[in-house]
Structure 1
Amino acid sequence: MFAEIITIGDELLIGQVIDTNSAWMGRELNKVGIEVIRVVSVRDRSEEIIDAVDSAMKRADVVLMTGGLGPTKDDITKQTLCNYFHTELVFDEAVFENVKRVLSRGVPMNALNQSQALVPKDCLVINNRVGSASISWFERNNKVLVSMPGVPQEMTTVMSEEIIPRLCKKFRTDAIVHKTYTVKNHPESVLAQELESWEVSLPQAIKLAYLPKLGLIRLRLTGRGEHGQEERIKLLMDQEGARLKAILGDDVIDENDVPLEKAVGDLLRKRKATLSTAESCTGGSIAARLTCVPGSSDYFKGSIVAYANEVKVNVLQVSPQTLEEQGAVSRQTVIEMVKGAMNTLKTDCAIATSGIAGPGGGTDEKPVGTVWIAAAYKGEIRTMKQESNRGREMNVERAGNNALLLLLELLK
């Protein structure tokens, strides 16, 4: 069963607002066996909306639209859908009562707000419990089109509480199962070559996708079958996953598709160990990732962002001699930084980074992209040198991934 998503709004196309709705809908629909085959963004132009709707209705069983339902003149979705489905806007008393309820929070009622109670005549109207714009559910030739607000909180609420349950009741959805393995130490092309014979022998019901990240690759297996075949597909997936792990061994570091920071946190909690970071070129971004995980206060104590050499010396006890003789970007410096973080913040383990993120600051000996990384746990310290230059942002992200991966290996 297939769905198409249409997002409406000039703000999406000029980059003023990022479309997070489509990603959320894609994930949630996939969980119930509905595959999104296309996402289209269009301007607030009636003819462009109609063209997108007409095209989507030819391909998909379900068309989900977001945006253009507000009270202002640029919100034209309702009238456009009336034109497409040959109907008209009518006043709906139940919707008006909902608008009044929502506006009772302090927004004055005026003619524009009152217009929110005008809804397409020939459709199922669903009230929006967290906003004033109602939802329109159209059906034609056993296909469904749903028009929802573009405000993410409103969309996610109505999708979870109303739309997805109704779709599951109306349609017999497919069985779709995903399993994602995170792999280290393999460039994408090398990994593909190593897995070629396994990949070509996969059952027809299972497909493989490569999802590269900086320093890591996620391998996603997707199994598909008819409704009610979930257990058979899961068994096939487990069998192929076992074959994959037999090929790659310890290079498979995770099979739960969790971020590195959560995988590290889970192990820290299991070991009852505490963590600190000492960051130079990564500027606290590793600490930020770690603390984004709910419950990270169980194991994460703090971070020292030692961007300047005097902070490395005065706070982390890095030797001035080390900095003078080997430089801030060196193996010995990050070893002393990781020790200093553990001593200063009294933790069981630590991560340290120091490098040249760019775009300037590089030398022939230490070009831009050079980053030294250290991780320590239970008296053992491991280091690595990162040398590729992918631009400042990617250099920093890659260093964070490598630092967390280094600690993950120590904890395991």
Structure 2
Amino acid sequence: MKAHIITIGDEILIGQIVDTNSAYISKALNAIGVSVYQISSIQDDKDHILESFAFAKADSDIIIITGGLGPTKDDVTKSTFCAFFDDELVFNQEVFDHVSYLFKKYVKQPLLASNKTQALVPSKATILTNRFGTAPGMWMEQDGKIFVSMPGVPYEMKALMEESVLPRLKERFELPYILHKTLLTFGMGESAIADRIESFEDELPKSIKLAYLPSLGRVRIRLSTTGSVKEEVDAAMAVQLEKLEALLEDIFVGYEENGSLEELIGKALVARGKTLAIAESCTGGSIVQRFTSNPGASGYLVGSTVTYATRSKVDVLGVDSALIEKHSVVSAEVAEAMAVQVKKLYNSDYAIATTGNAGPTKGDSDAAVGTVYIGIATPEGSTAHHFMMGNHRERVIGKTVNKALELLNEEILKN
């Protein structure tokens, strides 16, 4: 069963917003056994949409569309649906009542004429109720192919997928079982890993595919397979995962399906009844953001500071100014002191700190661009680590964040 995802909106094509909908929909479809054949982003243009619909219908069984369902004149998806399905827009009382309810409860102002048009839907469409917005989802079929149109607002789309689209697809089709397992590794590059597991890769059954997904300071390794019997697929995958884990034991930190590294760290801290504090300079809050983007962070993260300027390291954290003057603000001594001081400030069990020169110009230190020090404070003591992260600002910051998480994870797992 193949799917084609189409996102509609000029704002995507001009780079004004990032298309996160397709990534979510792809994962959700894969999880129920639907393979995504193609993803397309297209303009709010009727002819372009019609061409895309025809192309998608020819090569896929399920076409998922997001965007273009608003009340304004630039949203043309509904009228284009009618053109494609030889249909017409009709007034839907259920949709109108829902729109009226939302306005009465949340907007608290009279419905405008443009808002009332949300109740006009193709007569052949099955309406999917959008609990969180005024634009309904629409399910239409033609020649055995399914078209599903949803609003582009991510939280509205996700609710429709989970509550309406996925259950309908599972009920309608006998779908295969697709399994992805992604190993998270840190501290070794893609080429070195490929060299280490070359024999393993050569001996993989043809039914299991391996892919490398490198990023800043880490490599994800994904094994993928599919089959009709879940138990057989799981068993075949388990055999290969055991072999691969043994080959990567020193750099393997967990499975992406169980959560990101920061989620795994959070779970480890909670399981041990321990807490974390963070002091950031060159990373500017990127580390704490990785933790707070996940629910439950308050169960272990007690506080953080972004002491970007040299003065704030002294005034806020209490780092000795003489230490900075002697060793430079970008130094192992200052990174370790920052970790020790933020641990003391928040009375945490663990602490991590960063100081460095991300570039492109030098700041309060003469350290070369790309120089980074990461400080770690634990119940057993404190230390600092020195790294050269390159000369591209975003790369320096990204690699520093990932390395800090890697070092923190190692310390936590020691206890």
Global fold match (TM > 0.5): yes
Does the aligned pair in 1 maintain the 2:389–2:395 contact within 8 Å? no
Greater alpha carbon shift after TM alignment, 378-387 vs 306-315? 306-315
Does the aligned pair in 2 maintain the 1:362–1:368 contact within 8 Å? no
- Counterpart position of 1:236: 236
For residues 324 and 233 of structure 1, the distance between their equivalents in structure 2, rounded to whole angstroms, comes to 61
Match runs of 1:150-229 below 5 Å: 150-226=152-228, 229=229
- Counterpart position of 2:370: 369
- Counterpart position of 1:147: 149
Paired letter, 1:123: A
Report how far residue 353 of structure 1 moved: 1.2
Greater alpha carbon shift after TM alignment, 246-255 vs 43-52? 246-255
Does the aligned pair in 1 maintain the 2:323–2:333 contact within 8 Å? yes
- Counterpart position of 1:67: 67
Paired letter, 1:7: T
Change (3 A) 1:100 1:318: closer
For residues 335 and 220 of structure 2, the distance between their equivalents in structure 1, rounded to whole angstroms, comes to 29
- Counterpart position of 1:277: 278
Change (3 A) 1:174 1:244: same
What are the ranges of 5 or more consecutive residues in structure 2 without an aligned counterpart? Answer: none
Change (3 A) 1:138 1:292: closer
Paired letter, 1:166: R
Q: Deviations over 1:289-323 (max 9, x none)?
A: 23333222232222233323333334444344432
Does the aligned pair in 1 maintain the 2:179–2:226 contact within 8 Å? yes
Match runs of 1:240-251 below 5 Å: 240-251=240-251
Change (3 A) 1:70 1:321: closer
Does the aligned pair in 2 maintain the 1:26–1:36 contact within 8 Å? yes
For residues 401 and 2 of structure 1, the distance between their equivalents in structure 2, rounded to whole angstroms, comes to 35
Change (3 A) 1:112 1:316: closer
- Counterpart position of 2:116: 114
What are the ranges of 5 or more consecutive residues in structure 1 without an aligned counterpart? Answer: none
For residues 298 and 356 of structure 1, the distance between their equivalents in structure 2, rounded to whole angstroms, comes to 32
Change (3 A) 1:293 1:129: closer
Greater alpha carbon shift after TM alignment, 168-177 vs 286-295? 286-295
For residues 291 and 336 of structure 1, the distance between their equivalents in structure 2, rounded to whole angstroms, comes to 24
Q: Deviations over 1:196-236 (max 9, x none)?
A: 2211221222111212221111111112112xx11111111
Does the aligned pair in 2 maintain the 1:334–1:352 contact within 8 Å? yes
Identity %: 41
Does the aligned pair in 1 maintain the 2:310–2:364 contact within 8 Å? no
For residues 291 and 255 of structure 1, the distance between their equivalents in structure 2, rounded to whole angstroms, comes to 20
For residues 133 and 318 of structure 2, the distance between their equivalents in structure 1, rounded to whole angstroms, comes to 55
Does the aligned pair in 2 maintain the 1:70–1:116 contact within 8 Å? yes
Please give the secondary structure, in 2, of the residue aligned with 1:249: coil
Report how far residue 43 of structure 1 moved: 0.9
For residues 388 and 339 of structure 1, the distance between their equivalents in structure 2, rounded to whole angstroms, comes to 24
Change (3 A) 1:121 1:410: same
Change (3 A) 1:380 1:110: closer
Match runs of 1:26-175 below 5 Å: 26-105=26-105, 106-175=108-177
For residues 189 and 206 of structure 1, the distance between their equivalents in structure 2, rounded to whole angstroms, comes to 21
Is 1:379 the counterpart of 2:383 in the alignment? no
Does the aligned pair in 2 maintain the 1:67–1:148 contact within 8 Å? yes
Report how far residue 256 of structure 1 moved: 4.4
For residues 329 and 3 of structure 1, the distance between their equivalents in structure 2, rounded to whole angstroms, comes to 51
Paired letter, 1:252: F
Paired letter, 2:81: L
Change (3 A) 1:362 1:346: closer
How large is the RMSD of aligned CA atoms in angstroms?
2.2
For residues 10 and 198 of structure 1, the distance between their equivalents in structure 2, rounded to whole angstroms, comes to 45
For residues 256 and 40 of structure 1, the distance between their equivalents in structure 2, rounded to whole angstroms, comes to 26
- Counterpart position of 2:393: 392
Greater alpha carbon shift after TM alignment, 376-385 vs 399-408? 376-385
